A and B are shown apart, each in its own frame.
Chain A
Amino acid sequence: MTIGRREILKLVAGSSLAAFAPTLARAQTVGGGSGYRAIVALFLYGGNDSNNLIVPTDERHADYAAARGSTLAIPQSSLLPLTGTSYGLHPAAAPLADIWDEGALSWMFNTGPLLQPMTRQLYEDRPDLRPANLFSHDAQQNLWQTSGAQAELPTGWLGRVGDGFVDAGRSAASVSLSGAQRAMIGDRNQPLLISGSNLSLNGYDPDSTSARDISRRAAFDAMLNAGQSNALAQITSVIMQGDIARGAQLNTILNGEGSAVDAAFVDQNGAPVTGSLATQLKRIARMIEGRDQLGATRQTFMATTGGFDNHRDQVGGPTDGLHAGLTANFSRCVYAFYNTMKVLGMEDAVTLFSMSDFARTFRGNGSRGSDHAWGSHQFVVGGALQPRMLHGQFPEMALGGPDDARTNGRWIPQTSIDEYAGALARWVGVADADMPYVFPNWSTWNGGGRGPVPFFA
């Protein structure tokens, strides 16, 4: 059988066309009122050791040092005090401490995938209540990105947020600057997936009037747009067509002159911040800057950086080792992004938040590194936050203790991804009625003392 192009268009491209159409005057089913809002997901691939990102500085530091062991533990004196709290940050995370001092950063303690509220007893008694494939990279990345708990879902929660935006006629709802990411895949929402800078076809000038170019374009288009005999080829070619059609407009925004972003993307010392993650965040900032050209009013973005799977050589001294370098990089990038939002006057309309596969085992392995764990600490950055808040419960740092799923400090999360992500989804504009669509397990996490984490004022 042949799948009709029209049917496929309904399946895929219908939404892609909608994603780029000017905002339609359709009834809004999303809440959040008027004005522009965006959330920016920062995924730290490999499992960030957040146990060393934020550390108690009070008497609990002794528990911390004893349980982590001298190899991994950061001495109390090296930690950067977090103003007004009994916690300190990794010495490489000074830029985050500065944002905290500005009142634009909050911490989320010990969050992760959960099917339902979980205790050590329940973990031991009821294997069926454990999230799928705990401690595995790709499974846990997928749970974080899809908000599945029992199984990895085919679509991502950011993609499903985008579905609602697409339904409401909003443009460019979901954008990844790190290529294909499961988090961005929705049902009706075709995300913009970008990984490099060049969004123009070599040798293809749409304005050329030479007969040579016109005839070549006609043949090129006939080849590109031809119906394909099988479903996979048809869908793949429709994606190619959509990307080629949309690239030209984006190219101007991402690479054009006259943007304020590049000059604003600097660290606390005013030095330009560069690198792969910086490039992604700068492009996000440019799209936010160019939101009117895109007709965008509600957006979700994603940027990623990797290298956090530090099974060895995670720590050299208190301020060096692999994890220190990674922490310094993402902290500077986050600072520069927040600074850029302030320059653009968008800091209250944009919220950045972190995600990662999992935290790492509290007790290290024999290779100056650590292995895969479960619950992790995350941070949220933006001007709309209640200032200087610590949310959630910090785990009791006892190996084999009540917060440990096993014996080497794999903390059982006390706040679910749904509660963490749900707060961000609500803020960016998902209506209460749509929350169960975005978070299939929402009924478990809404009500009865549970619900979206109160990040926002």
Chain B
Amino acid sequence: MSGRPIISNLILAMGAACCVTGAAFAGDLAAAISPAARSVALPPGGTATATTFATVINRTDGALGNCEPELPGRFGALDLSYAWTNPADNSLIPGSENTPFSLGPRASQSLVLAISGTAAFDGIVPPVFECAGGANADTLYGINTLDLTISETAPTDILAIGIALPSNDGVIRIAEAGGRQAYAIAAINIGADGDVLVSPRGIFGQNAPLPADITICESGPDGRCLAPALSSLTVNFAQNGVRTFSVFVRADPDIGITLAPANTRVEVRFLVGDRLAAATSAAITAPGPQAQGDARDALRLAQQATFGPNQSVIDDIRRRGVEAWVDRQLTLTDSTYADIAAQTVNPNFCRGVPQPCGRDHFSAFPLQMRFFRNAMDNPDQLRQRVAFALSQILVVGENEVNTTYALGRYQQMLLENAFGNYRDILRGVALSPTMGDYLDMVNSRAEAPNENFPRELMQLFALGEGRLNPDGTPITDSQGRVLPAYTEADVVELSRALTGWVYPTRPGELPSVNNARYYDADMSVYAAEHDSASKIILGEGLVGGQGAAADLDEAIDILFEHPNVAPFISGQLIQHLVTSNPSPAYVGRISAVFENNGSGVRGDLGAVVRAILLDAEARTPNPDLNRVGKLREPVLLMVSTLRLIGAQSDGYVFLRRAGGMGQIPFESPSVFNFYPPDFALQGSDGLVSPSQGLVNMSSIYERHNVLYDWTYNGYSTRWDWRPLSSWPGATGTSVNWSSWGRLAQTPERLLDVLDDIALEEDLTAQQRALILDAMEEHTYWGNPLEEAQRRARLAIYLIVTSPSFQIDQ
């Protein structure tokens, strides 16, 4: 190692001083470094030195002695020296080179640091600030680390040399909800000439975007913009040139930004190509609207009404309020399968045509990709959740009907009617050629009616097997036997009523008894095959001779008006959205809304869903612990995990992993769905747990392994995250762990966040301690950023594989 550089010479090149732009918020010391990035040239056979300024603060009420900065042992190739500076002008205090200092109670010391090396280097250097007795500062990426490049060719090296904030404390303080703030920064190029991209960005805890608009302009000596402010700009920087910029921040009026200097920041980056040449950042805080809802309740609602909570969803619910958030969800219509449904093809369209023709037109694949992408990203989360529930009550599947547009048309009907009327759904299902094909109502003939659809229409889609009270409890006879909701004779009569339907007649063709397979309309009547005699269904008569269409409509009316429908459907929707074992009173309250939405309308699903989510049993913070709880089914477990960690995904990853857990949407093995609504939870004395029907030894392992793979083992090159090359616009799946890594710089804070947004504050002190221990053991020499991200992934792995995450309260 060569001798220490002469610090005083270097200071001159840096001009005016910089200030502390943030402070660590844990540890006895707080430390900050600015600038946070340097690029320096390595002279042939010589030593390169980068300087930066630091401020160290004693956060305790006692004096601390023998304080000094040093590099962690793993940076053996670099050398750190330092000197004290005058905080007023950053001038060097003579004779202070490499001299430890003392800090009085709550006092601070400003320093200049010089880091030198004799070989090329590219990485993040985290100086350790420590006083006698072990008092030290937490390492916070971007705050007290230096992003250092030492290269053999002269780099463009920008020093962000000044940041001028009205508040004088290094914090961008926005005064009111939705308010603005501007500040100035100055920079000098002490390296070679070059084009530099100047790009501001917001940092907001984990992967949520900072709720603020940020723009930047280059400014003249009077502070005015030379050109309108943009989201980023490119300037040509001459050697030793000084440029000034103005940064404008406007906060989102609906979301507050709590002051958390490590995690809420505005950073301005100077990029030369892909290389970060300099960066300077400042903490930001802004007030939100007055009403901030309860965080735990917001988490519960997000579990009930979305494909998985994350910080953005929880914040959104809290600022809008539960009721307003639900009401807004009822209006959203972002998701659609209509374009897939419109791609009609003939049955022989792919004959002799290689893949992916079959995949794209004769499988559920395009629909499944859309389903998962919508679930990850689209705002109409509640509509999607309800449509997913309906798709598991009114089941069709690829195993019987593999025509893509047919499946798309059916699922689009459910999506459009998710908040519509259940009678429209029953009628739509009965007339759908997709269902007609799936359960054989198409081509059911008078001489030998097919009983498949009529039976399941009663048993699965409308009534259930046994008669129900309005609260969903069974009606029994004097010996305790459940009374049947319908008889075999009703199945036969309904089958007769539903004869005479054929595939829809193609435009320009005449209906025939053997209409070709075609799904782009409701089924058509072929009158000669309809049994036109009178029928009696559930005690109500259909007069003879009135035709297939009238018979179908009246039969649907009879079923829809049956008292079983309200508790049967309401109860299952509650199970899909909120809890596996709703109390009879809860079912009863929702049944009443199904019976009458308050305006005399029966079957209004929007009103039913709203009532389900706003019901006291869904919202109470003190549920009945003997019956509350719902195991996340595989689709929800997978999507909620990737939503939690902020993954970007085109949906393919889910299709690669869902099969091992037994639930691939639109591929139910039969009309009885992936699991029954009354699956008994063994050993529970009467509880049901529908999705437990998919749980067995193998799927328990697979649940763990998928979550392990996507978190602890979540490398960007994972096999299941790769894009499918034959899929147009494939992106595969990716996760940006950097903001999690930033959070993990303060492990306690990371666990607080995860506990809040993933666990309903379930972590015990012992669990916290063990997770922190494990994080501590995960060290990666030479790469603190990677280390922090791996620690974050470890903590997330331990959280999402836990029963507490897999089971919603």
Q: Which residue numbers of A lie inside 8 Å of B, CB to CB?
A: 1-3, 8, 11-12, 45-46, 128, 132-139, 150-151, 154, 176, 179-180, 182, 185, 190, 192-203, 211-212, 214-216, 218-220, 222-224, 226, 228-233, 235-237, 239-240, 243-244, 246-247, 250, 306, 309, 311-312, 363-367, 369, 371-372, 406
Check: B166 CB closer than 8 A to any chain A CB.
Answer: no
A246 near B804 with CB under 8 A, answer no
A223 near B672 with CB under 8 A, answer no
Stretch among B312-320, B337-345, B699-707 lining the A interface: B699-707
For A230, the chain B residues whose CB sits under 8 A away are 623, 625-629, 809
B664 to chain A, nearest CB (A): 14
- Jot down 12 A-B pairs with beta carbons below 8 A, ordered by A: A8-B683, A132-B465, A194-B697, A215-B770, A215-B776, A219-B770, A223-B802, A230-B626, A236-B806, A367-B444, A367-B450, A372-B451
B320 to chain A, nearest CB (A): 28
A2-B625, A224-B803 given; A243·B697 CB < 8 A? yes
Check: B680 CB closer than 8 A to any chain A CB.
Answer: yes
B670 near A1 with CB under 8 A, answer no
List of 6 A-B pairs having minimum Cβ-Cβ separation, nearest first: A232-B629, A193-B696, A237-B803, A12-B683, A196-B698, A223-B802
Stretch among B232-240, B481-489, B545-553 lining the A interface: B481-489
A371 near B662 with CB under 8 A, answer no
With A3-B625, A220-B798 known, 7 other A-B pairs at CB within 8 A are A201-B701, A226-B804, A232-B628, A236-B631, A240-B806, A312-B440, A367-B444
For B581, the chain A residues whose CB sits under 8 A away are 232
Q: Which of B679, B683, B692, B705 gathers the greatest number of chain A CB atoms within 10 Å? A: B683
B699 near A179 with CB under 8 A, answer yes
Complex partner residue of B773 from A218, A312, A364, CB under 8 angstroms: A218
A309 to B669, CA, bound (A): 12
Q: Which residue numbers of B lie inside 8 Å of A, CB to CB?
A: 439-440, 443-445, 447-452, 455, 459, 465, 481-482, 484, 488, 491, 580-581, 623, 625-631, 660, 662, 669-670, 672, 676, 679-685, 687, 689, 692-702, 704-705, 708-709, 712-713, 762, 764, 766-767, 770-771, 773-774, 776-778, 794, 798-799, 801-804, 806-807, 809
A195-B699, A215-B777 given; A364·B687 CB < 8 A? no
A134 to B676, CA, bound (A): 18
A128 to B482, CA, bound (A): 11
For A311, the chain B residues whose CB sits under 8 A away are 439-440, 450-452
A360 to B691, CA, bound (A): 30
A232 near B580 with CB under 8 A, answer yes
Report the tally of A-B residue pairs with Cβ distances under 8 A. 246
A12-B683, A211-B777 given; A203·B803 CB < 8 A? no
B488 near A151 with CB under 8 A, answer no
A176 near B482 with CB under 8 A, answer no
B771 to chain A, nearest CB (A): 5
A180-B693, A202-B709, A364-B448 given; A232·B455 CB < 8 A? no
A85 to chain B, nearest CB (A): 32
A214 to B445, CA, bound (A): 68
B695 near A135 with CB under 8 A, answer no
For A228, the chain B residues whose CB sits under 8 A away are 803-804, 807
A83 to B802, CA, bound (A): 59
Complex partner residue of B698 from A3, A195, A233, CB under 8 angstroms: A195
A311 to B623, CA, bound (A): 46
A364 to chain B, nearest CB (A): 7
B697 near A366 with CB under 8 A, answer no
A180-B692, A247-B697, A367-B443 given; A232·B684 CB < 8 A? yes
B445 to chain A, nearest CB (A): 4
For B762, the chain A residues whose CB sits under 8 A away are 226, 229
Complex partner residue of A240 from B685, B770, B776, B803, CB under 8 angstroms: B803
A179-B694, A224-B802, A366-B444 given; A236·B681 CB < 8 A? yes
> Which residue of chain A is the closest to B766 with respect to CB atoms?
A222
For B699, the chain A residues whose CB sits under 8 A away are 179, 195-196
A195 to B693, CA, bound (A): 12
A230 to B627, CA, bound (A): 7
B440 near A367 with CB under 8 A, answer yes
B465 near A139 with CB under 8 A, answer yes
For A138, the chain B residues whose CB sits under 8 A away are 672, 676
Complex partner residue of A226 from B455, B679, B803, CB under 8 angstroms: B803
B705 near A202 with CB under 8 A, answer yes
Complex partner residue of A236 from B491, B628, B689, B771, CB under 8 angstroms: B689
Complex partner residue of A229 from B455, B625, B698, B770, CB under 8 angstroms: B625
A176 to B702, CA, bound (A): 17
A138 to B773, CA, bound (A): 50
A235 to B684, CA, bound (A): 7
A133 near B627 with CB under 8 A, answer no
Q: Which of B625, B685, B708, B804 gathers the greatest number of chain A CB atoms within 10 Å? A: B625
For B777, the chain A residues whose CB sits under 8 A away are 211-212, 214-216
A176 near B705 with CB under 8 A, answer no
A235 near B687 with CB under 8 A, answer yes
B67 to chain A, nearest CB (A): 30
A205 to chain B, nearest CB (A): 13
B701 near A247 with CB under 8 A, answer yes
A202 near B708 with CB under 8 A, answer yes
A196 to B488, CA, bound (A): 38
B778 to chain A, nearest CB (A): 6
B627 near A231 with CB under 8 A, answer yes
> Which residue of chain B is the closest to A10 with respect to CB atoms?
B683
> Which residue of chain B is the closest to A189 with respect to CB atoms?
B682
A365 to B798, CA, bound (A): 55
Q: Which of A134, A180, A243, A369 gathers the greatest number of chain B CB atoms within 10 Å? A: A180
For B695, the chain A residues whose CB sits under 8 A away are 180, 193, 236, 239
